[in-house]
């Protein structure tokens, strides 16, 4: 207790300085608290709004109109006090007859009372409530813009005509992004038949939303219906499932920025270590006196650990306050990316965790330099050695080794706790360690190189500046670590983001076509081909599409498979989904065969596929994994009520990001040729005006055929990526900002010796300009090498991330990367110049007084 009191008193004048050093952790804690709090806000909001997200307590949905049995079930439930409302969703071309403009839209035919929870708001207000009063339509504002339409215009969907009565403002359960690909149009369900669009094979989703009495558990209620409804091709979804999947989606976003938070914390730790090193140097004299007066090494250490812990905790608290403030700004960075309205409130658990983790990391990083105080000899009161000699520790000093181990374990623990998996956490920790190791090695190499390259003939200021890089108690390693790490982080974020965007753009143009037509009926394929040819353009691909479901795998029915134990469970979505498959005899450019053999060429005169035959099928490797299916396994497909047995003869790696029709299952022509099918057509129609003309021709002749301009899609994706980039850039900016105090801290670790020396130089007659040039030489060298090392590491790191994690083509952008490096360099030199100002504040008398 007395020791704690003594520690408190002793810290009197240096408290502020120590707080400054320890508070570099504040930036890391701010990042942690803001990110974690925000993630919790999102999860909480998802939970609160999950009913509005789904629109009801339970949803039955199907890719085809409900079977008679399903309708009977819904009727009986309604009679038992469980009402339902309906929605039918499908893509279709929307046309404004007044000007002939067309655009692909997502049509929502909704019954009265839809949705059961949450409210759809409109501009002008109250128009959703009057939607059902006639053939009205409510549309996304963006649709009005692209169609050059206005409220009051007639809108044609298929053969049906509607009056636009307003625009949609807020639709619960959808993020701004969902309307980016195809703007939404809400129409009353009873006018759907007038569109004449819901024909065979149309891509449509039929849904019924159910409202349960408040005391009924949705999960328990849905359970008995799952199996019979699955047989009727109906999926059952409860509000709980919606909540879980929405939470998962936001979790991955939180995970990404969570890693940035972890790195911020580590940078903060490095800042603390450098700062405390400076603090320790200032305390040598005091410690020597304490030692003379009988204090043991451990007493001295305990005294300063108490001070550091208190200041670290204070720094962490400060960080938490800043974190809460930033948390309120985060929704601005993520605007339009989240499916719910996020209610931002302070999250005590996140704050407490942030403060504790931050306080601990600060303490562990501070302990390393503090340990050196144990070794300060009382002899220093009589004869003062250089700081670096006094503080030197043996490499095999046990407490030092223990602290190093604690440090590594803490970093690994934080990484594992914040990553999505233990493996990922270990990788992140290892990568961080690797980067720091490389930077430390480069720092040593720089010091070594500087020592050997100095030539007597060089100007004095340059020699002195270079000498500063390798002399005892240099700051080379501290500056290299913080600067290099900052440069590495920011550049990596930029390069990864850029490669992803570039890859999307590249894929969009890779198919050589830009107009995608879908829902083309069998008899429409040929006339559509001629329409496009007549305008002088080319159809590049025509893929037949056959809807089907899996009936059994290796003789076991889907119902029994779904009920498997958790260990053997195959992914439910993959077993139950409707597969839109194709048949063709060749592999496309976007696919690679990963196992098995492609279909043998069809022999002329071969017998047609007959009942009882087993056909071949090629599966996407990913979906085969989800289905737990391997080469040679047998899958029976239900194609329009007819069972077709097949054997898996090959697996393909499908590049899903290519903008062209891709398929989970591909069959040889002879297996599916005779099944009822429709087509997806890809055409090459360059030029915005030509696309519009072709689309108009098509929609006039075949209103059921939807088409989308892929270049428009690329543009839309670009916009989405830009929005994500804003979030990423926000984090990058955050890392630069946090790098600055760390850099200051690194510089200040040797400030004392630097001032002492510079003042001595002044005493010996050096001018201000000379001293400034010496400092600038040193900082320029450190800045250039630190940022360049960061750049090289970022190139390697971003390549690894792009290659192994995101699996896209690596397209480094050297220009901006070098620009980032230059900025980091300028920051380093500026900090050097600012450090120089302190030197000029001291008079030559200081040197004489200090002796």
Report d(CA 599, CA 620) in Å as an integer.
Answer: 15
Of 296 and 522, CB closest to another protein: 296
Judged by CB under 8 A, the number of residues near another protein is 30
The least distance separating another protein from the CB of residue 395, rounded to whole angstroms, comes to 19
Q: Which two tokens stand for residue 160?
A: 């049906």
Q: Cα(first)–Cα(last) distance of the chain, in Å?
A: 36
Regarding 290 and contact with another protein (CB under 8 A), the answer is yes
Which is nearest to 683 in space by CA: 464, 838, 534? 534
Of 300 and 466, CB closest to another protein: 300
The dihedrals phi and psi of 94, each to the nearest 5 degrees, come to -110, 135
Regarding 379 and contact with another protein (CB under 8 A), the answer is yes
Regarding 2 and contact with another protein (CB under 8 A), the answer is yes
Residue 2 CB-density burial (10 A; 0-12 exposed, 13-18 middle, 19+ buried): exposed
Give me the 669-698 binding string for another protein, x by CB under 8 A, dash otherwise.
Answer: ------------------------------
The least distance separating another protein from the CB of residue 392, rounded to whole angstroms, comes to 15
The least distance separating another protein from the CB of residue 367, rounded to whole angstroms, comes to 19
Of 294 and 608, CB closest to another protein: 294
* CA distances (Å), origin 445, targets 394, 442, 493: 22, 5, 27
The CA angle 829-26-725, to the nearest 5 degrees, is 70
Among 132, 142, 381, 693, which residue sits at the site for another protein (rule: CB under 8 A)?
381
Regarding 12 and contact with another protein (CB under 8 A), the answer is yes
Among 68, 79, 383, 452, which residue sits at the site for another protein (rule: CB under 8 A)?
383
CB under 8 A: which stretch of 8-16, 142-150, 262-270, 511-519 binds another protein?
8-16
Which is nearest to 373 in space by CA: 317, 303, 269? 303
Regarding 382 and contact with another protein (CB under 8 A), the answer is yes
What is the H or E stretch that residue 299 is in? helix 297-333
Beta-carbon contacts of 787 under 8 Å, excluding residues fewer than 6 positions away, are: 483, 484, 487, 821, 822, 824, 825, 828
Of 13 and 214, CB closest to another protein: 13
Among 285, 385, 397, 559, which residue sits at the site for another protein (rule: CB under 8 A)?
285
Of 295 and 627, CB closest to another protein: 295
Regarding 289 and contact with another protein (CB under 8 A), the answer is yes
Residues in 96-115 at the binding interface with another protein, rule: CB under 8 A: none
- Residue 504 · residue 657 · CB < 8 Å: yes
The least distance separating another protein from the CB of residue 382, rounded to whole angstroms, comes to 5
Of 294 and 611, CB closest to another protein: 294
Regarding 68 and contact with another protein (CB under 8 A), the answer is no
Give me the 323-352 binding string for another protein, x by CB under 8 A, dash otherwise.
Answer: ------------------------------
Report d(CA 345, CA 328) in Å as an integer.
Answer: 8
Count CB atoms within 10 A of the CB of residue 458: 13
Beta-carbon contacts of 588 under 8 Å, excluding residues fewer than 6 positions away, are: 660
Count CB atoms within 10 A of the CB of residue 224: 9
The least distance separating another protein from the CB of residue 20, rounded to whole angstroms, comes to 16
Regarding 625 and contact with another protein (CB under 8 A), the answer is no
The least distance separating another protein from the CB of residue 459, rounded to whole angstroms, comes to 30
Among 135, 176, 228, 378, which residue sits at the site for another protein (rule: CB under 8 A)?
378
* CA distances (Å), origin 227, targets 86, 222, 560, 640: 22, 10, 9, 20
- Residue 94 · residue 154 · CB < 8 Å: no
Q: Which two tokens stand for residue 175?
A: 């993020």
The dihedrals phi and psi of 345, each to the nearest 5 degrees, come to -135, 155
The least distance separating another protein from the CB of residue 6, rounded to whole angstroms, comes to 5
The least distance separating another protein from the CB of residue 444, rounded to whole angstroms, comes to 24
Regarding 845 and contact with another protein (CB under 8 A), the answer is no
The least distance separating another protein from the CB of residue 744, rounded to whole angstroms, comes to 24
CB under 8 A: which stretch of 61-69, 160-168, 378-386, 721-729 binds another protein?
378-386
The CA angle 24-27-28, to the nearest 5 degrees, is 100
Regarding 9 and contact with another protein (CB under 8 A), the answer is yes
Of 376 and 666, CB closest to another protein: 376
Of 292 and 712, CB closest to another protein: 292
Regarding 849 and contact with another protein (CB under 8 A), the answer is no
Tokens 């000093």 correspond to what residue?
A: 397
DSSP track, 742-804: HHHHHHHTTHHHHHHHHHHHHHTT--HHHHHHHHHHHHHHHHHHHHHHHHHHHHHHHHHIIII
CB under 8 A: which stretch of 48-56, 373-381, 386-394, 610-618 binds another protein?
373-381
Of 287 and 337, CB closest to another protein: 287
Regarding 14 and contact with another protein (CB under 8 A), the answer is yes
- Residue 775 · residue 751 · CB < 8 Å: no
CB under 8 A: which stretch of 381-389, 483-491, 522-530, 705-713 binds another protein?
381-389
* CA distances (Å), origin 269, targets 357, 407, 743, 790, 850: 11, 10, 12, 18, 32
Among 3, 163, 325, 606, which residue sits at the site for another protein (rule: CB under 8 A)?
3
Regarding 280 and contact with another protein (CB under 8 A), the answer is no
Regarding 83 and contact with another protein (CB under 8 A), the answer is no
Of 290 and 664, CB closest to another protein: 290
Tokens 């290796």 correspond to what residue?
A: 554
The least distance separating another protein from the CB of residue 851, rounded to whole angstroms, comes to 8
Helix axis angle for 218-231 and 68-79, nearest 10°, is: 150
Which is nearest to 674 in space by CA: 648, 704, 702, 642? 642
Of 288 and 672, CB closest to another protein: 288
The least distance separating another protein from the CB of residue 377, rounded to whole angstroms, comes to 7
Regarding 5 and contact with another protein (CB under 8 A), the answer is yes
Give me the 291-320 binding string for another protein, x by CB under 8 A, dash otherwise.
Answer: xxxxxxxxx---------------------
Alpha helices by DSSP H, 386-541? 387-390, 398-418, 422-453, 460-470, 476-510, 525-534
The least distance separating another protein from the CB of residue 390, rounded to whole angstroms, comes to 14
With b for 16 or more beta-carbon neighbours within 10 A and e for fewer, the 598-607 pattern comes to bbeeeeeeee
Report d(CA 415, CA 371) in Å as an integer.
Answer: 25
Residues in 468-507 at the binding interface with another protein, rule: CB under 8 A: none
Report d(CA 364, CA 356) in Å as an integer.
Answer: 12
Of 705 and 847, CB closest to another protein: 847
Report d(CA 155, CA 98) in Å as an integer.
Answer: 9
Of 379 and 422, CB closest to another protein: 379
* CA distances (Å), origin 300, targets 7, 10, 311, 363, 375: 9, 11, 17, 16, 10
Of 379 and 642, CB closest to another protein: 379
Regarding 177 and contact with another protein (CB under 8 A), the answer is no
The least distance separating another protein from the CB of residue 289, rounded to whole angstroms, comes to 5
Among 377, 404, 509, 846, which residue sits at the site for another protein (rule: CB under 8 A)?
377
Of 379 and 834, CB closest to another protein: 379
Of 5 and 231, CB closest to another protein: 5
Binding residues for another protein (CB under 8 A): 2-3, 5-6, 9-14, 285-286, 288-299, 377-379, 381-383
């Amino acid at each position: 207790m007395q020791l704690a009191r003594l520690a408190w008193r002793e810290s009197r004048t240096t408290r502020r300085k120590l707080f400054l050093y320890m508070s570099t952790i504040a930036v890391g804690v701010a990042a942690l608290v803001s990110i974690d709090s925000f993630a919790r806000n999102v999860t909480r909001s998802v939970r609160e709004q999950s009913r509005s997200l789904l629109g009801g307590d339970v949803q039955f949905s199907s890719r085809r109109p409900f079977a008679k049995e399903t309708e009977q079930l819904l009727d009986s439930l309604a009679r038992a006090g469980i009402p339902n409302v309906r929605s039918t969703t499908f893509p279709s071309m929307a046309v404004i007859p007044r000007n002939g403009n067309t655009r692909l839209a997502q049509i929502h035919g909704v019954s009265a009372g839809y949705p059961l929870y949450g409210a759809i708001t409109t501009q002008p207000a109250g128009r959703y409530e009057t939607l059902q009063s006639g053939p009205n339509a409510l549309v996304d504002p963006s649709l009005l813009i692209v169609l050059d339409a206005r409220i009051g215009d007639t809108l044609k969907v298929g053969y049906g005509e509607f009056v636009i009565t307003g625009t949609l403002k807020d639709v619960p359960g959808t993020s701004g992004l969902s309307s980016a690909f195809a703007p939404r149009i809400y129409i009353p369900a009873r006018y759907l038949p007038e569109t004449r669009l819901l024909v065979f094979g149309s891509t449509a989703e039929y849904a019924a939303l159910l409202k349960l009495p408040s005391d009924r558990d949705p999960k328990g209620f849905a359970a008995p219906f799952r199996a019979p409804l699955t047989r009727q091709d109906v999926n059952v979804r409860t509000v709980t499932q919606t909540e879980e999947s929405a939470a998962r989606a936001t979790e991955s976003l939180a995970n990404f920025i969570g890693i940035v938070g972890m790195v911020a914390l580590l940078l903060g730790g490095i800042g603390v270590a450098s700062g405390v090193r400076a603090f320790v140097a200032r305390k040598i004299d005091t410690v020597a006196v304490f030692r003379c007066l009988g204090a043991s090494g451990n007493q001295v250490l305990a005294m300063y650990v108490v001070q550091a812990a208190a200041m670290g905790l204070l720094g962490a608290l400060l960080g938490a306050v800043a974190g809460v403030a930033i948390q309120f700004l985060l929704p601005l960075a993520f605007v339009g990316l989240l499916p719910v309205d996020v209610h931002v409130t302070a999250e005590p658990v996140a704050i407490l965790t942030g403060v504790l983790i931050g306080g601990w990391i600060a303490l562990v990083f501070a302990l390393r330099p503090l340990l050196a105080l144990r070794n300060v000899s009382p002899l220093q009161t009589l004869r003062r050695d250089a700081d670096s000699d006094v503080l030197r520790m043996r490499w095999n000093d046990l407490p030092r080794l223990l602290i190093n181990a604690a440090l590594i374990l803490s970093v690994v623990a934080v990484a594992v706790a914040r990553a999505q998996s233990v493996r990922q956490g270990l990788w992140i920790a290892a990568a961080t360690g690797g980067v720091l190791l490389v930077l430390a090695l480069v720092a040593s190499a720089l010091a070594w190189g500087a020592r050997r390259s100095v030539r007597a003939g060089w100007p004095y200021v340059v020699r002195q500046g270079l000498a500063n890089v390798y002399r005892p108690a240099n700051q080379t390693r501290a500056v290299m670590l913080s600067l290099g790490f900052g440069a590495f982080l920011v550049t990596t974020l930029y390069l990864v983001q850029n490669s992803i965007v570039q890859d999307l753009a590249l894929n969009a143009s890779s198919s050589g076509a830009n107009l995608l037509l879908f829902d083309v009926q069998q008899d429409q394929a040929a006339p559509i081909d001629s329409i496009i040819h007549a305008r002088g353009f080319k159809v590049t691909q025509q893929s037949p599409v056959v809807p089907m479901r899996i009936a059994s795998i290796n003789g076991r029915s889907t119902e029994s498979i779904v009920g498997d134990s958790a260990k053997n469970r195959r992914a439910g979505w993959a077993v139950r989904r409707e597969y839109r498959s194709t048949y063709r005899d060749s592999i496309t450019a976007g696919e690679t065969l990963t196992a098995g053999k492609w279909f043998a060429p069809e022999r002329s005169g071969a017998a047609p596929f007959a009942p009882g035959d087993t056909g071949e099928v090629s599966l996407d490797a990913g979906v085969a994994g989800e289905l737990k299916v391997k080469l040679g396994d047998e899958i029976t497909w239900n194609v329009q009520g007819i069972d077709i047995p097949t054997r898996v003869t090959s697996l393909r790696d499908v590049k899903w990001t290519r903008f062209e029709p891709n398929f989970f299952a591909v069959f040889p022509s002879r297996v599916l040729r005779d099944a009822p099918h429709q087509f997806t057509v890809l055409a090459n129609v360059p030029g915005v005006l030509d696309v519009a003309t072709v689309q108009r021709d098509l929609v006039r002749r075949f209103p059921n055929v939807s088409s989308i301009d892929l270049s428009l899609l690329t543009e839309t994706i670009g916009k989405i990526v830009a929005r994500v980039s804003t979030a990423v850039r926000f984090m990058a900016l955050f890392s630069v900002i946090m790098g600055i105090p760390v850099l200051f801290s690194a510089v200040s670790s040797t400030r004392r010796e630097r001032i002492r020396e510079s003042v001595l130089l002044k005493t010996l007659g050096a001018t201000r300009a000379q001293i400034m040039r010496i400092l600038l030489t040193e900082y320029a060298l450190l800045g250039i090498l630190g940022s360049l090392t960061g750049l090289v590491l970022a190139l390697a790191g971003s390549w690894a991330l792009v290659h192994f994690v995101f699996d896209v083509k690596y397209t480094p952008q050297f220009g901006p990367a070098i620009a980032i490096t230059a900025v980091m360099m300028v920051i380093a030199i500026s900090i050097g110049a600012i450090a120089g100002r302190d030197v000029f504040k001291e008079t030559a008398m200081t040197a004489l007084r200090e002796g």
